[in-house]
Chains A and B, each alone.
Chain A
Amino acid sequence: MALNIIVCIKPVPDPQYYDKVSIDPQTKRITREGIPTIINPVDKNGIEAALQLKKTYGGKVTVITMAPPNAVENLREALAMGADEAVLLSDRAFGGADTLATSYTLAKGIEKIGEFDVIFCGVESADGATAQVASQLGEWLGIPHLWNVFSLENLEEKTMRVKTKIENGSMEWEVNLPCLFGVARQLNKPRFISAMGIIKAKNKPLATWGKNDLIVEDARLGLTGSPTKAGEIYTPDLRRKGELLSGPLDEIVDTVIEKLRTAGITIRTASTSCSAGEGGA
């Protein structure tokens, strides 16, 4: 049974460099120059899941993103991984979108792509980490959706069994297709891009759609369509006194034990347990 699979991805600044991100005191905006843009790492787990399903059942994998024009590069990477087609939703009107407006725009893009059986999203993006687009996209499309999927168990005709992670355990579900999954890192290990994949990617279809290519209500797009508004931004000050403990390591460790005790932690050491009775010094 051939499947039409859609994967939502987001280009994000490489998380390796986040400790270098800062706020420009003049413009009050986030400076992220020089940080390369990559496909949001957990979105790759979504691409991998799609490719594995396609290998087993046949079908087509389409990758979609709502992003600025240079996201074409990241879409090509997804095509090089093995996706068949790519769609970029890009328009000034989409800018400033919160998760509700973003998921709305993605939904309209997906509706234009046409029929689908499964949609994969990553659980959260490395930069914003709101972890909401997957669930809200499911709502806009009116399909069953699950977040934090870490295991795809079984696919039969028109239903799928999956597991989601919850605190100290998991839940098992039966979902009707078409459906949407927000997938977690534990789901699989995304494949590396191969040289052959890069060559094939060149000729795969990549379409760019703006507002006018979609059937949308303007009021639901971008900043206008975002119920949440951003206020001040600041970097938290996490500094502490950082007093260096020096001297022989043995003495340092004794100091650590002493400080833990002062903080209220009960610690039994050789000297304290001797005072309990038997045994000499």
Chain B
Amino acid sequence: MQFFQFTEEQDMLRKAVREFAEAEIAPKAAEWDEKDYCPMELFPIMGELGLTGIFVPEEYGGSGMGYVERAICLEEIARYSAGLAIALMTHHLGMAPILDHGTEEQKAKYLPELCAGTKLCGLATTEPGGGSDYTGQKSTAELVDGQWVLNGRKCFITNYQADVCVLTAVSGQDEKGRNQLSVYIIDKGTCGFSMGRHENKLGLRGSNTGDLILNDVKVPQENLIGKAGGGNKIGMAAIGEVGRAGMTAICVGILRGCVEEGVKFANERILYGKPIAKLQSIQFDIAGIRTDYEAAKLLLYSASGKKDAKLPATTDYAIAKYFASEAAVRSAKKTMELMGGYGVINEYPVGRFLRDALASIPSGGTSHIQKLIIAGSTLSDFKA
């Protein structure tokens, strides 16, 4: 077993994204959070930097890198704005099914502009009737005269204003009467496809979340990804490895923010004649936050490394996401407490870190779901 180390290129990428984040994201993150403003103007710029299509092969306009590199980008961006990071990660999330399961025509049609960041992508699976109950969704897709007609409603959709929406619907039942899902690419503006209410969120503000309404939306056959009924697997693969991975990276970014802000404050705040960093109780807090960050980081990059090596990583990501999101909430709260009164003043980012961490728990699979996945694989893989 070799010890964990990034390559020179990965270090360069981290440095490059960090410079971009410090210059263009850090100064505005608080404002975006306060106004719940999603900085879409940064998407074409991130496109030029190769971040919007980071894991897409060069032939489709991407950067030809992998999931480790994607995690690095998301971590660096989330360190300053988890809201922008989730918008970017969801953009990737919608692209993944097109890349992994789409036809050459679909890839050639959609991926270049998505990689350039000139168009926004999103994934829509969650419904008022349930998100965790994935196959229990109720939107329907019926094949009528060679076209699919979709009806239903999606909610809590990040990037619901996307130009290209990758969406699941029930297209039939299997022999046991269980729902079969299919995945469709729907262009914004398609007749009958509209945006519903905008959600006013507690955290991850700076990304747009809302409803999507499907009212007899006609989708041509060539916009079906994979086969009819293949949506169970395609959708779950995307959520399980791309969505979960993205949320984990975001939480690792928040955790690093907690370490850095905590250290800065502890070294500068003078009480009893010396910096509070000299007090044991504060040191214990700093140790806890640091350990959470390092552990979450290792889980994230280990899972991402496996995915890039084409090894199964679903359970690894479940463990990473569950741990990182809960750790982010725990450590953000700890950082706030370490800062005393200053922790609840909005000029400091820590309050935003906590809200973003809280909002990360139900995103990309709740902790309850992650635990079921982890338990499932543990009970079958570990022999007593």
Taking beta carbons and an 8 Å cutoff, which residues of A are in contact with B? Answer: 73, 76-77, 80, 192-199, 201-202
Known: A199-B63, A199-B64. A192 touches B49 (CB 8 A): yes
B19 x A195 contact (CB < 8 A)? no
A194 x B50 contact (CB < 8 A)? yes
B174 within 8 A of A: no
B37 within 8 A of A: no
B69 within 8 A of A: yes
Q: Tell me the nearest residue of chain A to B55, going by C-beta.
A: A195
Question: In the complex, given contacts A195-B49, A198-B16, what are 13 additional A-B residue pairs having Cβ atoms less than 8 angstroms apart?
Answer: A73-B8, A77-B16, A80-B12, A192-B20, A193-B16, A193-B49, A194-B16, A195-B13, A195-B50, A195-B69, A195-B73, A196-B58, A198-B9
B19 x A198 contact (CB < 8 A)? no
Sort A-B residue pairs by CB-CB distance and give the 8 closest, nearest first: A195-B50, A193-B16, A195-B63, A194-B49, A194-B50, A192-B20, A196-B50, A198-B12
Q: 14 interchain pairs (CB within 8 A)?
A: A77-B15, A77-B16, A80-B12, A192-B16, A192-B20, A192-B49, A193-B12, A194-B48, A194-B63, A195-B69, A196-B64, A198-B12, A199-B63, A199-B65
Q: How far is the CA of A77 from the CA of B69 in the complex (A)?
A: 17
Chain A interface, >50% SS class: helix
Within 8 A of A (CB), among B51-65: 51, 54, 58, 63-65
What is the size category of the interface that chain B forms with chain A? Answer: 20 to 34
A76 x B49 contact (CB < 8 A)? no
Contacts of B48 in A (CB 8 A): 194
Q: Tell me the nearest residue of chain A to B48, going by C-beta.
A: A194
Q: Report the minimal beta-carbon distance from B25 to chain A, rounded to whole angstroms.
A: 12
Q: Tell me the nearest residue of chain B to A36, going by C-beta.
A: B15
Q: How far is the CA of A80 from the CA of B49 in the complex (A)?
A: 11
Q: How far is the CA of A199 from the CA of B9 in the complex (A)?
A: 7
State which of A80, A196, A202 has its C-beta within 8 Å of the C-beta of B63: A196
State which of B8, B23, B51 has its C-beta within 8 Å of the C-beta of A195: B51
Contacts of B8 in A (CB 8 A): 73, 76
Taking beta carbons and an 8 Å cutoff, which residues of B are in contact with A? Answer: 8-9, 12-13, 15-16, 19-20, 23, 48-51, 54, 58, 63-65, 69, 73
Contacts of B20 in A (CB 8 A): 192
Q: Tell me the nearest residue of chain B to A72, going by C-beta.
A: B8
Q: How far is the CA of A259 from the CA of B58 in the complex (A)?
A: 66
Chain B interface, >50% SS class: helix
Contacts of A194 in B (CB 8 A): 16, 48-50, 63
Inter-chain residue pair count (beta carbon < 8 A) = 48
Q: How far is the CA of A76 from the CA of B11 in the complex (A)?
A: 12
Contacts of A193 in B (CB 8 A): 12, 15-16, 19, 49
* Residue among B50, B54, B65 with max Cβ neighbours from chain A (10 Å): B50
Q: Report the minimal beta-carbon distance from B66 to chain A, rounded to whole angstroms.
A: 11
Contacts of A198 in B (CB 8 A): 9, 12-13, 16
Q: Tell me the nearest residue of chain B to A196, going by C-beta.
A: B50
State which of B9, B19, B54, B64 has its C-beta within 8 Å of the C-beta of A192: B19
Q: Report the minimal beta-carbon distance from A95 to chain B, rounded to whole angstroms.
A: 26
Contacts of B13 in A (CB 8 A): 195, 198
Q: How far is the CA of A197 from the CA of B17 in the complex (A)?
A: 12
A77 x B12 contact (CB < 8 A)? yes
Q: Tell me the nearest residue of chain B to A192, going by C-beta.
A: B20
Q: How far is the CA of A194 from the CA of B58 in the complex (A)?
A: 13
Contacts of A199 in B (CB 8 A): 9, 63-65
Q: How far is the CA of A195 from the CA of B50 in the complex (A)?
A: 5
Q: Report the minimal beta-carbon distance from B319 to chain A, rounded to whole angstroms.
A: 28
Contacts of B49 in A (CB 8 A): 192-195
* Residue among B12, B49, B64, B69 with max Cβ neighbours from chain A (10 Å): B12
A80 x B65 contact (CB < 8 A)? no
B16 x A80 contact (CB < 8 A)? yes
Q: Report the minimal beta-carbon distance from B235 to chain A, rounded to whole angstroms.
A: 27
Q: How far is the CA of A201 from the CA of B50 in the complex (A)?
A: 14
Q: How far is the CA of A193 from the CA of B51 in the complex (A)?
A: 11
Q: Report the minimal beta-carbon distance from B144 to chain A, rounded to whole angstroms.
A: 43
Contacts of B16 in A (CB 8 A): 77, 80, 192-195, 198
* Residue among A73, A80, A192, A197 with max Cβ neighbours from chain B (10 Å): A192
Q: Report the minimal beta-carbon distance from A107 to chain B, rounded to whole angstroms.
A: 30
Contacts of A192 in B (CB 8 A): 16, 19-20, 23, 49
Known: A196-B63, A199-B63, A199-B64. A76 touches B12 (CB 8 A): yes
Q: Tell me the nearest residue of chain A to B22, going by C-beta.
A: A16
Q: Report the minimal beta-carbon distance from A45 to chain B, rounded to whole angstroms.
A: 15
Q: How far is the CA of A87 from the CA of B64 in the complex (A)?
A: 27
Q: Report the minimal beta-carbon distance from B207 to chain A, rounded to whole angstroms.
A: 22
Contacts of B58 in A (CB 8 A): 196
Q: How far is the CA of A199 from the CA of B12 in the complex (A)?
A: 10
Q: How far is the CA of A195 from the CA of B116 in the complex (A)?
A: 12
Contacts of A80 in B (CB 8 A): 12, 16
